[in-house]
Amino acid sequence: MSARSQRCRIEKIEERIKKLSKYSSACICFPETEPPSFGFAVMRDIAFRVKCPLHGERFKVFSHLYVPRWHREHADRYRHLGSRQYQKAWMASFPLNLWPAVEEEKEEGIYLRLKDGTRYMAEAFTWRKPIAGLQPERPSL
C-alpha cells in the first residue's frame, strides 16, 4: 500500500472518530441545531477564541447584527433552556464566576462589566461622535 493511500485511510478514520466523538464529555462545541446567539460582537469574539480540545472551532462565525436590549435580556433569562451541550458550550466561553455581565451605558457607548470588574467596550456610539472634517454648516446672517 502506498504512503498516499495510507494517509487517505488515516484521514477517513480520523473524520469518523471526530463524528463519533461529537458531544463527548470533553467536547465544548455548540450543537449544529442550536447555533449561539450573542448580544454583542465582542461576546461572539470571546466565544470564538475558546477552542474545543477535540474539534478546534466550536461554531461557524457569522456577522453580527444589532440586538436590542429587550432581546438581550430575554436571551439571558432563557439561556438555561437550551440543551445540555449548548449550556456546556456557553459556560466554556462565559463562566458563571464572571458572567453574566452588567451593561453600563456611558457617553461613548455600552460597556460590559464582568463580576471581577473587567470592562469590555461592547458597542461604541459612533453616531454621537462628530466626524472630523464634517462640521455642520451654519447659515450666514
Residue extents of the structural domains in the chain: 19-97
Residue 96, exposed/middle/buried by CB under 10 A (0-12, 13-18, 19+)?
exposed
Is residue 99 classed as helix, strand or coil in its secondary structure?
coil
| Mean pLDDT along residues 50-62 | 90
pLDDT tens for each residue of 18-49: 665 566 788 999 998 888 989 999 999 999 99
Would you state the pLDDT for residue 73? 86
Would you state the pLDDT for residue 19? 61
Q: Which residue has the higher pLDDT, 55 or 111?
A: 111
Q: State the average pLDDT for the chain.
A: 84
**Could you tell me the pTM of the whole model?**
0.71
